[in-house]
Amino acid sequence: MKKIKTLVLFCLLALTTVLCACTDDKAKNSDSITIGIAQDIDDSLDPHKMVAAGTKEIFFNVFEGLVKPDSDGNIVPAVAESVEVSEDKLCYTFKLRNGIKFHDGNAVTIEDLEYSINKFAGRSGDEPVSSAFLNISEVNVVSDDTIEIKLASADPAFLSYLASVESAIIPKSNTNPDGVCIGTGPYKYVSRSPLQNVVFEKFDGYWGEGGNIKNVTFKICTNPDTIAMELEGGTIDMCIHMTNGQKMQLDKEKFNVYEGTMNLVQALYLNHDFEPFNDVNVRKAMNYAVDAKEVMDYVSNGSGAKIGTSIYPNFGKYFDESLTSVYDADIQKAKDCLSKSAYPDGFDMTITVPSNYDQHVDTALVLKNQLALIGINAEIVKVDWDTWISDVYLGRNYDSTVIGVDAANLSANALLSRFTSDAGDNFTNYDNPEYDAAFSKAISASDDENATKYYKECAKILNDDAANVYIQDLPDFVALNKNFEGYKFYPLYVLDLTNIKAVK
Amino acid sequence: MGKYIIKKFILLIITLIVTSFVIFLIFELVPGDPVTDKLGTRATPEMIESLRAKWGLDQPFVLRYFKFLGGIFTLNFGTSYTYGISVSSLLKEKIMINLVMSLMALTFVIVISFPLGIYTAKHTGGLSDKIISPLNQTAMSIPSFVLGLIITFLFGIVLKWFKPGGYVSYKTDFFGFLYFLIFPSFALALPKIAMCIRLLKGNILEEASKDYSTTAYARGNNTKGLLYRHVLKNAAMPTVTFIGMIAADMICSGIVIEQVFSVPGLGQILINSISTRDFPVVEAEVLMIALFIMVISFITDIIHVIIDPRVRI
């Protein structure tokens, strides 16, 4: 009996030693990186059909358009080597990059360009990825390496639409773009396993400098409570979009935490068809009652950037710093505004929030307390994401909601077009002829300077009119194991893998 | 026996049909729509219309239900809305994970609880009983997700026996897969082990105080002989039933454990599919779980018949 006991003990000991050794070996492999992402990648693999921001964020590395954004927000050539714009700004001529290849090894041809442009612009039967592409009047192949796009009316932001993942160039020969993923980016898609992972591999035939790390695995971490443990345990080397709470659990010796902003306009969006919210005094009162600083303190320990209108700070030239302080919290002013309205003693309202976004739920809680100070009784209704999309966003059946709105591309148009009275995605039912006029001037401006001027005017109108209760651009934390370095934030919602490299 | 099996089988079919109808109905009634979830914020009325038609959601409720029912009988559960691949291929790997995890946990339960249960019964009131009983009580009362976190912290972070959340697919590394699953399985098994020990101990003590035990003593049996030859057979009966119930419950408890250990099993895909309203996946999976539970209870019944002749009458 004693012998058996000793044997069992010995075996266990041996097993432990061997297994411990295994774990160590894997951790030192600098050729691979595992990145934790919070949501499953369940979108179509066709870039022109990708919907979720989280999908486009990582497929930024797989697909490229004729042009693409860089980390400073400039638009640089990608599949096209150069672009020429005619005097009247109506004709864009793109020259195909010499020697550029798709991930399957085939050269990119002018036919692929023509096919892709027609596909994402909605000229071959599908819906266009952006209504802005309806402006395209002609797509002409000029020669083997030149293609021109003609517009019906000038649009200074046209190139920025072409720079998004949704306007990627894909091969004409791929008959099943939904399931087979072929692009021209620095990384190629290898596989995905639902709720488990997505695997990318460095593309050796990339035209540019390309990435530094050979194998990239995105691990789906749906449980926010275990992310810090997975980082500490070495299962994931990097995690994007961490909350302040998760960040605080990390060991500072082992991880670098990068702080940026999420590039979202977080606001208490008001449904202008809901009775009290059609009164500008009510909206102003709410803006004065809400203290954005207090929201930031509570939700993310003071991190975040004040906005004041539907433009976030990373939009550089369109952002107007002065608008952030127009509605600094002032309960007396709030009460004065409210007394001028038909509801001097306040009213009842609901705040609908998607329950999967902790930051928005927390924000709603703070807002409820702040609004109570001027007699507005807000009730918080938590709904799941799917219900939010169908009832709030598409159905527009709500009083108010806390959400962050992102920009699909680097043009102010992406953030401002939804507030024109006839926009299909105007989920706040905002209707202001003055705004519509300024917006139409902005999109028809012949040069960028004028366009910027009118976009800024639009942003100012939203602020003056207190269209919504603008709060902040949420802070964004990225943790990177000290074995790696080089993470860079973009002014858009993208993760560029090429900057990340192993520390020697 | 044959009649018994046929009766059970018919019952099984009826239950499955009722279950499938209930889920179908629930999905009809809850707010939210798979089409708007798929299209997200880019949805236009035309796109919604065409996708709805493509998925057959524009047809009336009854028609859709019968189509679905027909699908089940030909083992065709349709295509997942979210992933665009067939439901069976989607669930194949997940089933493997949960099956292995449940079997492993069940093995833990049997291998650990029987010896310990018998041991504590034999030494009631002794030192070992005084140590094991409170431990048992604790293991029973800790919720499994807390237990999961403790195990992850202790074995994953402190002892570094495994990487937290470091699940590997059985396709790439089968032994790595088995090794990783030991920890979630153990977390799954621990509360059940505690319950089994308590149950077995109680039953043994109860049986030992009955008249036949006294008679057996009188016939010259010693404690060991009495325990193994007479008492254990009777005392094990309720425990076997209980283990059957545990086995059926493994998949459901597994859902929580999967979350804690980031195992991409049936539970995660179920929760995810419910939130994206991926109806074919949910329906197929719930039916599978129902089937699983019924098959287990069927097997338990059979084992009962084998070890207890009285049930046969």
CA distance, residue B195 to nearest chain A CA (Å): 26
Task: Tell me what percent of chain A is helix, strand and coil, each rounded to the nearest 5.
Answer: 35, 25, 40
Asked whether residue A390 falls in the same domain as residue A256, the answer is no
Summarize the confidence of residues A448-468 as an average pLDDT.
92
Strands A400-406 and A264-270: antiparallel
Cβ atoms < 10 Å from Cβ of A334: 24
Instruction: Identify the residue among A13, A383, A394 best suited for mutation to test binding to B, counting B beta carbons within 10 A and taking the highest.
Output: A394
Q: Are strands A255-261 and A475-481 parallel, antiparallel or unpaired?
A: antiparallel
One domain, residues A395 and A246? no
Give, for A475, the enclosing helix (H) or strand (E): strand A475-481
Instruction: Indicate whether A348 and A486 sit together in one domain.
Output: no
List chain B residues with CB under 8 Å of A392: none
Last residue of a domain, which of A132, A167, A202? A167
Rounded-to-integer distance, Cα A421 and Cα A416, Å = 11
- Nearest chain A alpha carbon to B275: A386
Q: Which residues, other chains included, contact A322 with Cβ-Cβ below 8 Å and sequence gap of 6+? A: none
Domain membership flag for residue A190: yes
Helix (H, G, I), strand (E, B) or coil at A501: strand
- Nearest CB among A179, A233, A389 relative to B156 is that of A233
Partners of A218 in beta bridges: A35, A198
Please tell me the predicted confidence (pLDDT) of residue B293: 84
Token representation of residue B182? 């030991």
Q: How far A141 CA sits from the closest chain B CA (Å)?
A: 30
CA B268/CA B266 separation, integer angstroms: 6
The residues facing A352 across adjacent strands are A381, A401
User: In angstroms, what separates the C-alpha of A192 from chain B's closest C-alpha?
Assistant: 10
- Do residue A179 and residue B276 have CB atoms under 8 angstroms apart? no
Q: Do A220 and B264 touch (CB under 8 A)?
A: yes
How far is the C-alpha of A16 from the C-alpha of A12, rounded, in Å?
6
Q: Look at residues A167, A193, A213 and tell me which one is the last residue of a structural domain.
A: A167
Task: Flag if B276 and A42 touch (Cβ within 8 Å).
Answer: yes
How far apart are the two ends of chain B, measured CA to CA in Å? 11
In angstroms, the separation between the Cα of residue B54 and the nearest Cα of chain A is: 14
DSSP classification of residue B27: H
Cα dihedral across residues B8, B9, B10, B16: positive or negative = positive
Residue A175 lies in a domain: no
Res A9: pLDDT:
55
> Are residues B37 and A425, on separate chains, in Cβ contact within 8 Å?
no
Answer whether B275 sits within 8 Å of A386, measured CB to CB: yes
> Mean per-residue pLDDT for A424-441?
92
CA of B240, closest CA in chain A: separation in Å?
28
Tell whether A358 and A490 lie within a shared domain. Answer: no
> How far A117 CA sits from the closest chain B CA (Å)?
19
Domain-located, residue A11: no
Residues of A in contact with B46 (CB under 8 A): 127
CB–CB contact A42 B39 (8 Å)? no
Nearest CB to B264; choose among A129, A196, A235: A196
Distance of residue B207 Cα from the nearest chain A Cα, in angstroms = 30
B260/A42 Cβ within 8 A: no
CB–CB of A229 and B269 under 8 A?
no
Are B156 and A44 inside 8 Å of each other by CB?
Answer: no
Higher pLDDT, B3 or A262: A262
CA distance B64 to B137: 50
Structure tokens that stand for A360 in this block:
């928005």
How many other CB atoms are there within 10 angstroms of residue B141's CB atom? 10
Domain annotation covers residue A5: no
- Domain-embedded: residue A120: yes
Question: How far is the CA of A45 from the CAs of A59, A106, A170, B276, in angstroms?
Answer: 9, 19, 11, 18
Instruction: Note the pLDDT tens digit of each residue in A270-315.
Output: 999 998 999 999 999 999 999 999 999 998 888 999 999 999 998 8
User: What mean pLDDT comes out for the span A491-504?
Assistant: 90
Domain assignment present for A205: yes
Instruction: Tell me the chain A residues in contact with residue B165 when contact means C-beta distances shorter than 8 Å.
Output: 219, 221, 226, 229-230, 233, 235-236
* Total domains in the fold of chain A: 3
pLDDT digits (tens, 9 = 90+) for A327-366: 999 999 999 999 999 999 999 999 999 988 888 999 999 9
How distant is the alpha carbon of residue A175 from its chain centre?
29
- Up-side HSE of residue A501: CA atoms within 13 Å toward CB? 8
pLDDT bin (cut points 50, 70, 90) of residue A20 is very low
User: CA-to-CA distance for A151 and A93, rounded, in angstroms?
Assistant: 11
Contact state of A389 with B262 under an 8 Å Cβ cutoff: no
| Nearest-by-Cβ selection for A389 from B36, B44, B169 | B36
Residues A481 and A438 in one domain: no
Q: Most B CBs within 10 Å: which of A22, A381, A389, as the mutation test of the B interface? A: A389
**Angle in degrees, CA A334, A337, A342, rounded to 5:** 125
CA distance B7 to chain A (A): 39
Asked if A312 contacts A263 with a C-beta cutoff of 8 angstroms, the reply is yes
- Please check whether residues A160 and A192 belong to one and the same domain: no
List of residues 6+ apart from B262 with CB closer than 8 A: A219, A221, A222, A223, A226, A230, B164, B165, B167
Instruction: Answer yes or no: do A343 and A427 share one domain.
Output: yes
Pick the residue of A133, A134, A229, A269 with the most B CBs within 10 A to test the interface with B by mutation.
Answer: A229
**Per-residue confidence of chain B (313 residues) as pLDDT tens digits?**
677 778 878 888 888 888 888 888 888 888 777 888 788 777 778 888 888 888 888 888 888 888 888 887 787 888 888 888 888 888 888 888 998 999 999 999 999 998 888 888 888 888 888 888 888 888 888 887 788 888 888 888 888 888 888 888 888 888 989 999 999 999 999 989 999 998 988 888 888 888 888 888 888 888 778 888 778 888 888 888 888 888 888 878 888 888 888 888 888 888 888 888 888 898 888 888 888 888 888 888 777 777 776 765 5
pLDDT of A24 = 44
When pLDDT is averaged across residues A30-50 and rounded to a whole number, the result is 89
Q: What is the mean pLDDT of residues A257-269?
A: 92
Per the listing, tokens 């082990």 go with B193
pLDDT digits (tens, 9 = 90+) for A167-207: 999 999 999 998 899 999 999 999 998 888 999 999 999 99
The verdict on A462 and A485 lying in the same domain is: no
% pLDDT > 90, chain A: 62
A-chain residues within 8 Å CB-CB of B33? Answer: 386, 390
Q: What is the DSSP string of A338-406?
A: HHHSS-TT--EEEEEEETT-HHHHHHHHHHHHHHHTTT-EEEEEEE-HHHIIIIIIIT---SEEEEEEE
Choose from B169, B171, B262 for mutation: most chain A CBs within 10 A. Answer: B262
> Which of B168, B165, B186, B193 has the alpha carbon at shortest distance from B178?
B168
CB nearest to B83's CB, from A16, A42, A230:
A42
Same-domain check for residues A257 and A272: no
Model pLDDT, residue A22: 47
Taking an 8 Å cut-off on Cβ atoms, the answer to whether B36 and A424 are in contact is no
The CA distance from A361 to A364, in Å, is 5
Is residue A458 pLDDT above 90, yes or no? Answer: yes
What are the start-end ranges of the E strands in A152-273? 187-193, 197-202, 215-220, 238-242, 255-261, 264-270
Same domain for A109 and A225, yes or no, is no
| Residue A176 domain flag | no
How far does the CA of residue A394 sit from the closest CA of chain B (Å)?
Answer: 8
Nearest CB to B269: which of A178, A194, A233? A194
Q: Enumerate the residues of chain B whose CB falls inside 8 A of the CB of residue A390.
A: 31-33, 36-37
Q: For residue A21, what pLDDT is reported?
A: 44
Residue A85 structural domain: 63-167
Q: HSE of A358 in the Cβ direction (CA atoms, 13 Å)?
A: 13
Question: Which pLDDT band, with edges at 50, 70 and 90, does A27 fall under?
Answer: very low
pTM, full prediction: 0.84
The reply to whether residue A235 touches residue B163, judged by beta carbons under 8 angstroms, is yes
A389 min Cα distance to partner chain B (Å): 7
Residues A388 and A453 in one domain: yes
In a domain, A462, yes or no: yes
- B269 chain-A contacts, CB cut-off 8 A: 194-195
Q: Is A210 helix (H, G, I), strand (E, B) or coil?
A: coil
Q: Which of A35, A42, A120, A249 is the best substitution to test chain B (most B C-beta atoms within 10 A)?
A: A42
- Residue B175, both tokens: 């032994």
Q: Do B264 and A195 touch (CB under 8 A)?
A: yes
Cα angle at A148 between A145 and A149, to 5 degrees?
A: 145
Instruction: Determine, for residues B262 and A230 on separate chains, whether the beta-carbon distance falls below 8 Å.
Output: yes
Instruction: Give the closest of A223, A383, A385 to B262, CB-based.
Output: A223
Task: Return the residue of B nearest to A129 by Cα.
Answer: B42
Domain holding A345: CATH number? 3.10.105.10
Strand-pairing partners, residue A238, are A35, A480
CATH code at A236?
3.40.190.10
DSSP secondary structure letter of residue A469: E
Instruction: Please tell me whether residues A449 and A305 are part of one structural domain.
Output: yes
Nearest Cβ partner for A384 among B32, B163, B260? B32
